[in-house]
Every structure is written in structure tokens, then in C-alpha cells.
Amino acid sequence: MAEHGKVAPARRRGLADEVADRIRDAVFSGAYPPGSQLREVELAEALGVSRGPVREALLRLEREGLVRSEWHRGSTVTTLSAQDVSELDSLRGALEHLAVGLVIAHATEADIAAIEDAAARMARAADEHEMVRYDIEFHDAVYAAAHHQRLQDAWYAIRSQVHLFLLTRVGLNSADYLSTIPDEHRELVAALRARDTEAALELFAVHRRRAFEVLTKDIR
């Protein structure tokens, strides 16, 4: 126990962080689709670590909303419910509305160029999983360009869940996503570069609504 006025020594968490990164990457690559079980013993063996770091990593991923744990099932990759989809969409919309306004008011030319570069990478995506990763990186660039640290932190708090949201959308309709998403993002960039607040807010809202409609059509 720490003495009065002092703090206890910090534990080294580097290995658990690395394990969390590896599991997260595996989920986002499609190796563990929603609903898949994540067994500590199997993960520890595959990663060449003990079960302790795996257990810590799964707890971290549970806090991100990427993993759910139940006493009778253990840990599984989150399967989004209709309520999950609705809540994520409304929260993302509120954050994005603020971000777009701040980008138009404060972003530098270098910020806009970084957003544009992120959008351009989508045309080179090899498959739907890579496309989703570039989609998320585009929104990372938008939040970075807002120059609002707490807003960026709020985005990163739901980032893994939004990634899962998009993967779920791809699972329902990958052809539509792959064929339309690069052009949609180029339109978003053009509105930001033009500093057209009304057009940008409308385009971002339409962009979100298309994904939301695909999910709500099939998820109950």
C-alpha cells in the first residue's frame, strides 16, 4: 500500500498494450468477425505470451467496446445491436458536427492536405477491410484538423466501435461500400477545402445516414 502523500509504483503495461493491438488488428482484418469467441488460452499460445497480458488486453478492448464478456460465454467480439447502432450514429453525428465547424474555421492548408491525402488512399484499397481502415484514418485526420484535444479524445473513445460499425456495414453490403465510398470522401474534402460550412455539414450527415440505413435495414 502506498504511504500517505505518495503513489504506488506504476506497473509496466507494455506487453498488454501490444497484445491488445494485435487482437484489435485481427478483429479489424476479419480474422475474428463479430460474435467470435476470444479464448485466453488460444490467444496466449498464438501470441507467445502468458494468459495475464491477454486477460489485461481483453479488459482494455472491452472498455473500447470492441469486446464483450459474459460469465457463461467468456469474451467475444462485439455484435452490434440496433440500439448500439443508433447510439453510435447519434453520438458520432454530434461529435462530427462540432469537428466540421472547427475544421472550416481553424484548419490550416496542411490540415486540409492531410485530410485530402487520407481520402486519396481509399482509391488504392486492396479489399473492404483496408477500405474501412482508410475510412477511419480519414476521420482521424478530420478530428486532428479541428485542433480540439478533448473532441479528439472523445472520437478516440468510440473509434474502435465506429470501426466495428463500418465492418458490420461491409458485411451486409460490401459492393455498395467499395463502389461509393471513395467518391463520397472526395466530396467531403471538396466542401472542407471550400470552407462551405452548410454544404460540408449536409454532406457529412448524408455520408453517415447511408451507413446507418444499411445497418438498420438488417439489424434488429
Residue 127, Cβ neighbours under 10 Å: how many? 12
- Is the pLDDT confidence value at 8 over 70? no
What CATH number does residue 73 fall under? 1.10.10.10
**pLDDT value at residue 97:** 98
Residue 97 and residue 41 share a domain: no
Stretch among 100-104, 146-150, 207-211, 212-216 having the lowest mean pLDDT = 212-216
**pLDDT value at residue 1:** 45
Partners of 74 in beta bridges: 70
**pLDDT value at residue 216:** 84
pLDDT tens-place string over residues 24-68 = 999 999 999 999 999 999 999 999 999 999 999 999 999 999 999
**pLDDT value at residue 174:** 80
What CATH number does residue 189 fall under? 1.20.120.530
**pLDDT value at residue 71:** 81
- Is the pLDDT confidence value at 18 over 50? yes
Tell me the pTM: 0.89
E-strand stretches of 65-210: 67-70, 74-77
* Residue 5 binned pLDDT confidence (cut-offs 50, 70, 90): low
Residue 196 and residue 117 share a domain: yes
* Residue 177 binned pLDDT confidence (cut-offs 50, 70, 90): confident
- Is the pLDDT confidence value at 4 over 60? no
* Residue 172 binned pLDDT confidence (cut-offs 50, 70, 90): confident
- Is the pLDDT confidence value at 100 over 90? yes
Residue 139 and residue 110 share a domain: yes
Examine residue 124 and state whether it is found in any structural domain, yes or no: yes
Residue 174 and residue 114 share a domain: yes
Higher pLDDT: 72 or 147? It is 147
Write down how long the chain is.
Answer: 220
For the chain, the average pLDDT equals 91
pLDDT tens-place string over residues 195-207 = 999 999 999 999 9
Q: Which of 77, 98, 120 is the endpoint of a domain? A: 77
**pLDDT value at residue 2:** 47
- Is the pLDDT confidence value at 10 over 70? no
Domain span at residue 189 reads: 82-219
How many domains does one find in the chain? 2
The backbone region for 75, taken as left when phi is positive above 0, alpha when psi lies in -120 to 50, beta otherwise, is: beta
Distance from C-alpha of 3 to C-alpha of 6, rounded to nearest angstrom: 5
As to burial, measured by CB atoms within 10 angstroms (0-12 exposed, 13-18 middle, 19+ buried), residue 85 is buried
